[in-house]
Amino acid sequence: MKRLIIVLLSVLALGLIPIRLARKDGGTVEYVAVFYRVIKWKQLNPHALYDEEGRYIESDQPKYLTGTDF
């Protein structure tokens, strides 16, 4: 009986360990486990201002949009 409880607790504990997945879209990172998923996304802002050479111009629009989804 004790072995069964130890095995079940071990399997449940392993289900909480996340695996980190990095996306190639500007910095989005996803943490995936059996019981949950967390996504920290980061992408370029399509409304940000850039000059002719592609350099970011400081404005009220941020260069990146970020957030976290659970």
Considering its fold, how many domains does the chain have in total? 1
Question: Does the pLDDT value for residue 13 go beyond 80?
Answer: yes
Q: How far apart are CA 33 and CA 41, in angstroms?
A: 17
Q: Which long-range contacts (CB under 8 A, 24 or more apart) does 11-17 make?
A: none
Domain hosting residue 33, numbered range: 2-69
* Mean pLDDT for the stretch of residues 1-27: 89
Per-residue model confidence as pLDDT tens digits over 19-33: 999 887 777 889 999
The sheet carrying 29-32 orders its strands as 19-22, 29-32, 37-44, 64-69
Question: Does the pLDDT value for residue 61 go beyond 70?
Answer: no
- Residue 25 has a pLDDT of 73
